[in-house]
Amino acid sequence: MRGPRWLGILSRCIAAVLGGYLLAALVAIGCALWLGPPRAEAVLVGMLLSFAVHAGAVIWVFAARSARRAWAGLAVPTLALGAALALTGGLP
């Protein structure tokens, strides 16, 4: 970790809270659009799962060896999901 220690921690906190939420939200949207029908069921599955995803993301962010790795590990699935959603018309 380069830079002062607190900077790395701050960076990880942002990754965990905002990055983790973004990933969870994308998973929720992905479930809502790709699972089902019925539509309501798919939406609910996404909602119910999203918290496990978020918690898992937080664990990953703080388990990674460096803040950079933490961000990278979060960015890969987020971008992949985002791209897949964009291709299937799930994102504006």
Partner 1 sequence: MKEGFRQCMAWLHTWSGLLVGWILFAIFLTGTAAYLRPEITTWMRPELHATAAGPAAAQAALDHLQQVAPRSPSWFVNLPDARQPALQVLWREAAAGRRGFANAWLDPATGETLTARETRGGEFFYRFHFQLHYLNVPLARWIVSFCAMMMLVAIISGIVTHRRIFADFFTFRPGKGSRSWIDGHALVAVAALPYHLMITYTGLVTLMLMTMPWGAEKAYGGDRAAFTAEVFGTAPPGRAAGRPAPLTAVAPLLEAATRHWQGGSVGRIAVQHPGDANATILLTRDDAERISSNPQTLLFDGTTGALLASAGDTGGAAAATRGVMYGLHIGRFAGPLLRGLLLLSGLAGTVMVATGCLLWAVKIRQQALKRGRIGFGLRLVEHLNVAAIAGLPVAMAGFFWANRVLPPGLAGRAEWEIHLFFIAWAICLLHPLLRRGRQAWIDQFAAGGLMFALLPVVSLVTTERHLGVTLAAGDWAFAGFEFGLLAIGAALGAIAWRLARRRPAAAVAPQRRQPTARLAAGAAE
Rule CB under 8 A: is residue 78 a binding residue for partner 1?
no
Asked if the bond preceding 37 is cis, omega within 30° of 0, the reply is yes
Rule CB under 8 A: is residue 5 a binding residue for partner 1?
no
Rule CB under 8 A: is residue 75 a binding residue for partner 1?
no
26: exposed, middle or buried (C-beta count within 10 Å: 0-12, 13-18, 19+)? buried
Least Cβ distance, residue 14 to partner 1 (angstroms)? 14
Residue in 52, 51, 69 with CA at minimum distance from that of residue 61: 69
Residues that bind partner 1 (CB under 8 A): 24-25, 28-29, 31-33, 38-48, 50-52, 54-55, 58-59, 62-63, 65, 90
